Amino acid sequence: MTVSGTKSVAKSLVSATRAALTLLLLTTLIAGLSGCSREPTELSIFAARYGDTHMEALQDIFKQQSAVRITPVSLTSDVGEFEALTEGLVELALVENSTPFQSGMRAILPMHESVLHLLVRDGVDISHAEQPLMNKIIYVGEHSLAGQAFIKLVAKRQRLQETDYKLITNLDGQEPDVVVHFGPISPAQPSWFRPGYKLFSLRQDNEGRAMSSQAISYMMPQMHSKVIPARTYDLPGNEVAIYTVAVDAILATNKAVPEGVIYELTRTLLEQKPRFATIAPEVFAGIRGDFNPLELNFPLHSGARRYLARDEPSMLERYAESINLVVYLVFLVLTGMVALTRWHAHRKKDRIDKFYTRIFAIRMRAMQEPPEPLLAELQQLELEAFESLIKEKLAADDSFRIFIELLTRAMDEVRKQPAETAKVGPVS
């Protein structure tokens, strides 16, 4: 390898190292800037599940602790939360995790456990072992998709047709035989309870076809068995434990909502959870960040995913040892290349010095020896030097130029030597 080639490789390695370090610094800077606070951003939320007092308190927390502002939206009673979200009427809504996948919908966080509360009107007989829902009017509160799916599944297992029972989501003055409510356990404020009804248990002995909570949890994997302990509610039917099912209520949004906004919303919900839980424990006590995203029916929003992964090692941290090793090896190679360059240069300098020595020795002999043999030696020396140059044993630098000048001068001196000797003449 020539000196110029070695220097070129060294320069390339230096340039590559600088480029890599610059890229890493830019990546870190961009990541830092992306996490910076933004101007306040408003997000509309379906307000049916929250009272006015709760909503005002929630808005105050977001004003104090977040760059996100929550704006409640009240819609007509015939619009459910999931419908409002899919139609773009709101940007945030609580939906049950049993809700079928919908393109464009994204999950943020599990908020609480939504528990099935089954009410049966006094005097209504549902003791039929095979078809307890036959000819019943069933009201599913708040347009709950989980409630509707539950009733349809139970009716299917009872071999009922859609004409064998009546499923409604608006009362319109009707008096239902069965009320289905999915929501958090809230003994202090059971707003869903209707006088003249009592809580019904999905009995574990499977008395009543397909009405066992354990069977339901197998048929609908997103639901799981749940027991409401006796006397949790001061309501008829809860004198004993209530066997039922539950499903996670997920705070959902649309994938079009910017990543930075959902990142900030997720941060606020998790960091301020104690304050939220003080306001509405039944809604916010179940907020957690250690859930498994694969168990959700909707993909996790990229903003929520980025916040939840904030404590995971960054790219720089994950590959810090590898990067250190690469940088160390690069500088080690550069150091070796520089040392090799100097060693090559020194060897070539040593070789040219030998040519200098041989020229001076020939010049000293010119006073006593005939010129022809000396000129032949100088020509041979010139030939050896150029062969060494072609084989890259010598460098075409200033040292070689000095050698050529010295060789030319020595040849001139040898050629002139006979004439000078003749002028002096014989010694008498």
Confidence of residue 36 (pLDDT cuts 50, 70, 90): very low
- H/E/C letters for each residue in 43-67? EEEECCCCCHHHHHHHHHHHHHHCC
| Domain 35-316: which CATH number of 1.10.357.10, 3.40.630.190, 3.40.190.10, 3.40.50.720 | 3.40.190.10
With vertex at residue 350, the alpha carbon angle to CA 348 and CA 352, rounded to the nearest 5 degrees, is 70
Higher pLDDT, 212 or 175: 175
Residue 281 pLDDT more than 90? no
What is d(CA 414, CA 406) in angstroms, rounded to the nearest whole number? 12
Predicted pLDDT at 422? 47
pLDDT digits over 305-358, tens only?
A: 999 988 666 677 777 888 888 888 998 988 888 888 888 777 777 778 888 888
| Among 286-290, 319-323, 414-418, the range of highest mean pLDDT | 286-290
Average pLDDT, the chain: 82
Confidence of residue 130 (pLDDT cuts 50, 70, 90): confident
pLDDT cut 70: percent of the chain above it = 83
Residues 6+ apart with CB under 8 A from 407: 359, 378, 381, 382, 385
CA-wise closest residue to 77 among 103, 102, 98, 48? 48
In this structure, of 249-258, 324-333, 395-404, the range with the lowest mean pLDDT score is: 395-404
In this structure, of 34-43, 60-69, 373-382, the range with the lowest mean pLDDT score is: 34-43
Average of pLDDT values for 194-221? 75
Residue 111 pLDDT more than 50? yes
Confidence of residue 428 (pLDDT cuts 50, 70, 90): very low
pLDDT digits over 1-28, tens only?
A: 444 554 554 555 556 556 655 655 555 5
Predicted pLDDT at 244? 93
CA-wise closest residue to 150 among 247, 237, 51? 247
pLDDT cut 90: percent of the chain above it = 33
Residue 60 pLDDT more than 50? yes
Is residue 384 classed exposed, middle or buried when 0-12, 13-18 and 19+ CB atoms within 10 A define those classes?
middle
Maximum Cα–Cα distance across the chain: 161
Would residue 142 be called left, alpha or beta, if left means φ above 0 and alpha means ψ between -120 and 50 degrees? left
| Among 17-26, 90-99, 371-380, the range of highest mean pLDDT | 90-99
What burial letters (b/e) apply to 191-222, b meaning 16+ CB within 10 Å?
eebeeebbbbbbeeeeebbbbbbebbbeebeb
What is d(CA 263, CA 108) in angstroms, rounded to the nearest whole number? 9
What is d(CA 243, CA 8) in angstroms, rounded to the nearest whole number? 79
Predicted pLDDT at 39? 63
Transcribe 251-296 into DSSP letters: EEEETTS-HHHHHHHHHHHHHTHHHHHHH-HHHHTT--S---GGGS
Predicted pLDDT at 59? 87
Confidence of residue 235 (pLDDT cuts 50, 70, 90): very high
Residue 206 pLDDT more than 50? no
Place of tokens 């068995």: 225
Residue 229 pLDDT more than 90? yes
Query: Per-domain residue ranges for the chain?
Result: 35-316, 320-419
Residues 6+ apart with CB under 8 A from 283: 49, 50, 54, 111, 112, 184, 276
pLDDT digits over 146-195, tens only?
A: 999 999 998 988 899 999 999 999 888 889 999 999 999 988 868 889 99
What would the two tokens of residue 151 be? 């009733």
Residues 134/160, Cβ–Cβ less than 8 Å? yes
What would the two tokens of residue 354 be? 């030998």
